[in-house]
Amino acid sequence: MLRAGLIRRLGTGLYTWLPMGLRTLKKVEAIVREEMNRAGALEVVMPIIHPAELWQESGRWQKYGADLLRLKDRHQRDYCVAPTHEEVITDIARREIKSYRQLPVNFYQIQTKFRDEIRPRFGVMRAREFVMKDAYSFHMDEAGLAQGYGIMFHTYTRIFTRMGLTFRCVQADSGAIGGKTSHEFQVLAESGEDAIAFSDADDYAANLELAVAAAPAQARAVGVESLRKVATPGVRTMAELARFLKIEPARCLKTLIVEGEDNTLVALALRGDHDLNALKAQKLPGVASPLRMAGADRIMALAGSEPGSIGPVGWAHRLYADHSALILADFVCGANEKDAHFTGVNWERDVKGAVAADLRNVVAGDPSPSGKGTLKIVRGIEVGHIFQLGQLYSEALNATVLDEGGHSVTPYMGCYGIGVTRIVAAAIEQNHDERGIIWPEPIAPFQVVLVALSSQKSDRVREVSDRLYDEFRADGIEVLFDDRDARAGVKFADAELLGIPHRVVVGERGVESGRLEYRGRRDTASQDFVLNDALAFIRSRLR
Ligand code: ATP
Ligand code: MG
């Protein structure tokens, strides 16, 4: 985006949109706006600076953490720069919506947000200041919310389809925003930050954070070995352990110690080849949320061992074991002392009181939790996220409406976000080659690039290219006219970098022969067309 001149960086996570980038951004916005309007949502614009009192009322002034940028005005009053607008829209609702007759309703805006992200990266993909479309719906009851949520689900599907993006809708965690049911819309791309697990046999799809690792169908194997302590000098990692003992990591147990509630520690045991899923772990009873690994000194004080040597044999505190670790027999684990491991370990006999839990990230090939097929994993970029909030915010801010019987009820809310600026970056991540961007047509900054060769020297080239430019534009086609005094190679390279879908070249030879050169951005070779039929030819190429 920097090379193509779409954006410029001002500071960490802060970007200026230059004319070429802004054209695409405006197209993305236009599609979002059209589809939101089609769905019956009403556009509003809310302030970017919010008084602290409102966020104190919802409890998020404390809860939101360091992502919330706080500031003071000249009277030393506290404010924040809005990362999201649940509080403000609920404040509007509690003042304006009094009766069931006014519901359901859905308000949206397309507006700048600020989140002081820990690690802003990949340009506008994860910026601090970015543009979001955020929408908030209000309903009389849960059934109404489910219906409104369904409408947004379809609207989002239409939006990303219209943009020409390949995407997937997945079950998601609701994170800091809160609520129960939630889906993310993920643009599929190798470089994506998120991993998505989906079944190859039905429509189960979930963010890896949330994807359920089904408990294995097979029963635990019968242990035959006795517990033995073996010397493992210098062995630090799981890979080293497996190599040293010449066994699979899947036969070893990985024990992680995390902070529990009330100053306790909790042990989490997983198969050596599996990865801990922090989100699943921090939802378990007794485990501190957000998940925090226990410090070495804490573990030493409580278990008399350093973290790298810890194992569950003799662990006297809360212990969770992943389902697939619990079917192991005769396994290997840390012996709670340096340079030693236990082999031939068995549950119940050697380790008592382990509670079964889903602790791990799913891996490709796991059975789908839907019961059909196996899981595959692809990478994605989250461009949209929809939530059923329920009464979380309406309750906190005391928003009520009168129902048909004149009773005061607390409305149900949904909220629906789209990363407008992130979509531009995501579209490029999904559609590019080594020469540059390949815009999906609906969001390309221009449809056609008209490249005039040596127009400074040739009157005829200038006449023909000027005429085509006017003709195309008069027909409503968006044309970028490259009439710079530059070499052909430079112009072609820039056209490819910019990713304009259709390229027409006007040169001396073409003008003379009455045939011009055309090339689509994804084409491997150019083709000729008759100059006199230029408009009809280009029209036939446009979607
Ligand atoms: P992420 O998990 O990527 O941090 P989020 O879950 O915090 O995002 P939401 O609160 O769901 O984000 O916001 C709605 C949408 O806004 C997201 O789906 C994403 O497309 C976009 N978005 C969120 N944070 C950023 C950011 N820092 N820069 C650009 N776009 C963002
Ligand atoms: Mg999200």
Report the relative pairing of strands 412-419 and 436-437 from DSSP bridges: unpaired
529 residue type, one letter: F
Using the atom order of ligand 1, give the atom closest to the CA of residue 384.
18
Q: Which two tokens stand for residue 516?
A: 């011009």
Decide whether any atom of ligand 1 lies within 6 Å of the 417 Cβ: yes
The Cα–Cα gap between 408 and 394 comes to 13
Ligand 1 pocket, 385 CB below 6 A?
Answer: yes
Tell me if 32 sits within 8 A of 384, measured CB to CB. no
**Ligand 1 nearest-atom number relative to CA 418:** 15
- pLDDT the model gives residue 284: 96
Q: Is 65 in the pocket of ligand 1 (CB under 6 A)?
A: no
Cβ–ligand 1 distance for 130 under 6 Å, the answer yes
What is the residue type of 453?
L
Distance of alpha carbon 399 from alpha carbon 374, whole angstroms: 45
Closest atom, ligand 1, to C-alpha of 383: 20
Which of the 8 DSSP states describes residue 375?
E
Q: How far is the CA of 128 from the centre of ligand 2 (A)?
A: 15
DSSP labels, 17-59: EPHHHHHHHHHHHHHHHHHHHHTT-EE----SEEEHHHHHHHT
User: Nearest 10 degrees: CA dihedral of 189, 133, 388, 145?
Assistant: -130
**CA 219/CA 201 separation, integer angstroms:** 25
Identify whether the C-beta of residue 358 lies closer than 8 Å to the C-beta of residue 206.
Answer: no
State whether the beta carbon of 209 lies less than 6 angstroms from ligand 1.
no
Closest residue (by CA) to atom 1 of ligand 1?
Answer: 382
- Residue closest by Cα to atom 11 of ligand 1: 385
Q: What tokens does 335 get? A: 């012996």
Separation between Cα atoms, residue 385 and residue 100, nearest integer Å = 27
Indicate if ligand 1 lies below 6 Å from the C-beta of 126: yes
CA pair distance 235, 241, nearest whole angstrom: 6
Q: Whose C-alpha lies nearest to ligand 1, atom 29?
A: 126
Q: Is 120 helix (H, G, I), strand (E, B) or coil?
A: coil
Is-contact 83 46, C-beta < 8 A? Answer: no
CA distances from 501 to 258, 424, 431, 436 (A): 52, 16, 11, 12
Q: Strand pairing of 253-259 and 265-271?
A: antiparallel
Q: Is 173 in the pocket of ligand 1 (CB under 6 A)?
A: no
Question: 448 alpha carbon to ligand 2 midpoint, in Å?
Answer: 35
Ligand nearest to the CA of 118: 1
Specify the DSSP class assigned to residue 177: G
- The total number of residues written for the chain in this structure: 543
Cβ contacts of 58-64, under 8 Å, gap ≥ 24: 58/86, 58/87, 58/90, 58/393, 58/396, 58/397, 59/396, 60/87, 63/176, 64/176
Whether 333 lines ligand 1, by a CB cut-off of 6 Å, is no
CB atoms within 10 A of CB 467: 13
DSSP helix/strand/coil, 109:
strand
DSSP 8-state assignment for residue 415: E
Residues near ion ligand 2 (CB < 5 Å) are 385
Distance CA 169, CA 187 (A): 9
pLDDT digit string (tens) for the chain, length 543 residues: 999 999 999 999 999 999 999 999 999 999 999 999 999 999 999 999 999 999 999 999 999 999 999 999 999 999 999 999 999 999 999 999 999 999 999 999 999 999 999 999 999 999 999 999 999 999 999 999 999 999 999 999 999 999 999 999 999 987 766 667 899 999 999 999 999 999 999 999 999 999 999 999 889 989 999 999 999 999 989 999 999 999 999 999 999 999 999 889 999 999 999 999 999 999 999 999 999 999 999 998 888 888 888 999 999 999 999 999 999 999 999 999 999 999 999 999 999 999 999 999 999 999 999 999 999 999 999 999 999 999 999 999 999 999 999 999 999 999 999 999 999 999 999 999 999 999 999 999 999 999 999 878 899 999 999 999 999 999 999 999 999 999 999 999 999 999 999 999 999 999 999 999 999 999 999 999 999 999 999 999 997
How many other C-beta atoms lie within 10 A of the C-beta of residue 172?
22
502 by DSSP, 3-state: which?
A: strand
Tokens representing 529? 């067309």
Residue nearest atom 24 in ligand 1 by C-alpha distance? 126
CB 41 within 8 A of CB 135: yes
Residue to mutate (ligand 1; options 422, 424, 428; most atoms within 8 A of CB): 422
Q: Is 164 left (phi over 0), alpha (psi -120 to 50) or beta?
A: left
Give the neighbor-by-neighbor strand order of the sheet with 527-530.
Answer: 479-482, 448-452, 502-506, 515-520, 527-530
**Interatomic CA distance for residues 208 and 201, integer angstroms:** 18
- Nearest alpha carbon to residue 354 among 383, 317, 379, 380: 317
Q: Which amino acid is at 367?
A: P
Q: Which ligand is nearest to the CA of 384?
A: 1
Location of structure tokens 């609920």? 90
Question: Which ligand is closest in space to the CA of residue 117?
Answer: 1
Q: Whose CA is nearest to atom 16 of ligand 1?
A: 419
Does ligand 1 come within 6 angstroms of the Cβ of 115?
A: yes
Q: Is the CB of residue 117 below 6 angstroms from any atom belonging to ligand 1?
A: yes
For 435-452, give the DSSP string. TEE---GGG-S-SEEEEE
Give the integer Cα–Cα distance in Å for 232 and 343: 11
Which residue puts its alpha carbon closest to atom 12 of ligand 1? Answer: 385
Does the predicted model carry a pTM greater than 0.85?
yes
Q: How far is the CA of 73 from the centre of ligand 1 (A)?
A: 28
Question: Which atom of ligand 1 is found nearest the CA of 184?
Answer: 18
The CA angle 95-101-107, to the nearest 5 degrees, is 55
Ligand 2 centroid to 541 CA: how many Å? 37
193 Cα: distance to centroid of ligand 2 (angstroms)? 12
Side-by-side strand order, sheet with 355-357: 253-259, 265-271, 318-322, 355-357
